[in-house]
Amino acid sequence: MSRIYNYLVETEHENFRLDRFVDEQHVPGQPNQLSRSAIQKLVRGGAVTVNGKSAKPGHKLRAGDQISLTIPNGSVMESIQPNHIPLDILYEDSVLIVVNKPADMLVHPAGGVNTGTLVNALLAHCGVLAQIGGAERPGIVHRLDKNTSGVLVAAKTGRAHRHLSAQFEAHTTVREYLAVACGVPKSESGTINAPIRRSRRDPRKMTVSVEAGRHAVTHYRALEIFGKFSLIQLNLETGRLHQIRVHLSHIGFPVAGDAVYGGGRRRALHNAHSPALAEAFAKLNRQALHARTLGFNHPESGEKLTFSAPMPIDMQRVVDALRT
């Protein structure tokens, strides 16, 4: 059975766009966790009305307008259930939460996986997340690959979500990663400026494309050199899907353990210079990539916040073996 929500436009929302108004209605008990794009689709499909009549997403509202939102039965938002999964919380307040995501955890439901994700865990911990964000990823502002560990921020309110998203889009956030790479860069530090697009041969992969790619910039610095491996610090200027993994592979130094972009376990084990290192790589079972630091301005106070998470045990074990 479809669910229907009715709203009255107050004076403070005079001249708001219809899609923006619906996006901001986060009333406790009403699970409106639709993304702006999803809302626009509902509006165009007639599921959102103004005074009983269909309207366009950009329709300007007047005080006193009656808005009706109909959410069809079986929508994705109804299928995401809270899972009580322990979280490594670095910071939390009334509008956002910062966590240290473990490896081997999806950020949000995808590809038929609807449980065990970070979103499921966040919904159980902060139920208010069900009120905001996209239907498939409520509260999620940015993402980390399933097998990448590290710092991630999620929003609890629509205002916080928009503010944080704007910072990521404007590239004003600080995003620092650590990676163990196969090989040694020719220069100790540098910048990789190479546009990225989805691969035409394999839609699950990204690739560098000067002609059709989106602007992507990664700054890197080699922290330690270990013969056939390097410990590299990376700072993202942009945030494309798989950006670090694609960029390091592009310059010939893929992330160790990355089976998709050339640094897979077989290569890592072949270049391991000791039994201890081989054992460490065998236990890693993922790409050696960790989001160590995230910095942004608080969406309410404007205060500059910076959070860091130590390298996880599986990756630290590899670095320790390299050092010895």
Question: What is the residue-averaged pLDDT of the chain?
Answer: 88
The whole-model pTM stands at 0.76
User: Given its phi and psi angles, is residue 161 left (phi above 0), alpha (psi -120 to 50 degrees) or beta?
Assistant: alpha
Q: Of 101-105, 168-172, 199-203, 291-295, where does mean pLDDT reach its minimum?
A: 199-203
Per-residue pLDDT tens over the stretch 18-57: 988 887 775 433 334 566 677 887 888 888 899 999 899 9
Give me the mean pLDDT over the 290-299 stretch: 98
Which pLDDT score, from 0 to 100, does residue 79 have?
Answer: 57
Contact 233, 293 (CB under 8 A): no
Per-residue pLDDT tens over the stretch 122-153: 989 987 664 555 556 788 999 999 999 999 99
Give me the mean pLDDT over the 204-226 stretch: 94
Is 19 catalytic? The answer is no
- Out of 19, 145, 258, 314, the active site residue is 145
Contact 231, 319 (CB under 8 A): yes
Contact 70, 2 (CB under 8 A): yes
pLDDT band at 2 (very low <50, low <70, confident <90, very high): low
Which pLDDT score, from 0 to 100, does residue 102 have?
Answer: 97
Q: Which residue has the higher pLDDT, 298 or 31?
A: 298
End-to-end Cα, the chain, rounded Å: 63
Per-residue pLDDT tens over the stretch 61-104: 999 999 988 876 545 444 578 899 999 999 999 899 999 999 99
